[in-house]
Amino acid sequence: MANSMAKSFLQAAATEEVVSPLRVVQIEGLVILKIIKHCKEFSPALVTGQLLGLDVGSVLEVTNCFPFPIREEDEEIEADGANYQLEMMRCLREVNVDNNTVGWYQSTILGSYQTVELIETFMNYQENIRRCVCIIYDPSRSNQGVLALKALKLSDSFMELYRANSFTGEKLREKNLSWMDIFEEIPIKVSNSALISAFMTELESDTPVTQCDYDRLQLSSNPYMERNMEFLIECMDDLSVEQQKFQFYYRSLSRQQAQQQAWLQKRRADNMQRKAAGEDPLPEEDPSNPIFKPIPEPSRLESFLITNQIANYCNQINGVSGQSFNRLYLMKSLHDN
């Protein structure tokens, strides 16, 4: 009896927990307000902060957060930064705040957040925490009346590839990974404790129109669109640079192959002659010859990231255009009447 029980315990300990996939990120209103306040105060500089919360089943709950101080580029301040983090976590623990790091947040300008640094930070966090998310907040979009908050996660297949550090066309085709699969966006749910909800309802009655509506109905979206287009054009330039790198690679590859063929032909012709003359044939390969050196294929990571960025800008432009159409037609009907 005891034996079988012990064995089942061992079995239970030995079987790996099946991690249910992350479906929803549940954020508290407090965290959203804190993120907005921090990002807005320091805009246009980009700021980051840490998210704290709980990981429950398929929901990742974010219950609190604290901002990081802006770091100067100085070696000493590295240790300071770590100290600050430990200090904050310790202090928050004393007032019963959840002490687990579940990710980090950062602000962005016009959605230009897909960089290699983001991926590296993700990998760093992933070492220690099973599931982490990154929340991206865009303060410039909030002037349009939209809450631009996104929760991102790196997809698993991408992470494996990144660890292997190989981004060649072969591997990507194997995994069927395209530029859309790098980041996964997770839906966000907002929750508030009942006490806060009671307070808010009390303190601020339901006005028929809020500031948010005023922002949304503003007619001038030109500056925003202009900046978006500028960023888009810059990204296209970057993309074309990447494309040129690829073209160069393919051209040199085909040139190298042509050279190899020519050399092989010559070798074969030489061998025929030698055979006719009765000498030993020379080997058909020559590793020391520079034309046999394999050319490294450029990594596709950059181009994927840039592609993601461009797609983002396009989406934003589409969204804002949609809004503008609405507004224009509204103006038209108001004027006609």
> Which residues ranging from 5 to 44 are in contact with another protein (CB under 8 A)?
28-30, 32-34, 36-38, 40-41
Q: How many CB atoms lie within 10 A of CB 334?
A: 8
> Which residues ranging from 258 to 297 are in contact with another protein (CB under 8 A)?
none
> Which residues ranging from 310 to 329 are in contact with another protein (CB under 8 A)?
310-311, 313-314, 317-326, 328
**Smallest separation (angstroms) from another protein to the CB of 304:** 9
- DSSP string spanning 80-148? HHHHHHHHHHHHHHHTT---EEEEEEEE-STT----HHHHHHHHHHHHH-SS-EEEEE-HHHHTTT---
Q: Which of 196, 264, 269, 291 binds another protein (CB under 8 A)?
A: 196
Is 88 near another protein (CB under 8 A)? yes
Is 230 near another protein (CB under 8 A)? no
> Which residues ranging from 102 to 131 are in contact with another protein (CB under 8 A)?
none
Query: What's the rounded Cα separation, in Å, for the pair 291 and 255?
Result: 9
In degrees rounded to 5, what are phi and psi of residue 221? Answer: -110, 10
Is 68 near another protein (CB under 8 A)? yes
Q: Which of 12, 13, 203, 276 binds another protein (CB under 8 A)?
A: 203
Contact 144, 224 (CB under 8 A): yes
**Smallest separation (angstroms) from another protein to the CB of 11:** 38
**Which residue, 105 or 313, is less far from another protein as judged by CB?**
313
**Which residue, 17 or 94, is less far from another protein as judged by CB?**
94
Q: Which of 8, 166, 243, 273 binds another protein (CB under 8 A)?
A: 243
Q: Show the tokens assigned to 52.
A: 């704290």
**Smallest separation (angstroms) from another protein to the CB of 14:** 37
Kindly state the helix (H) or strand (E) to which residue 215 belongs, with its residue range: helix 211-216
The CA radius of gyration of the chain, in Å to the nearest whole number, is: 28
Query: What's the rounded Cα separation, in Å, for the pair 107 and 38?
Result: 9
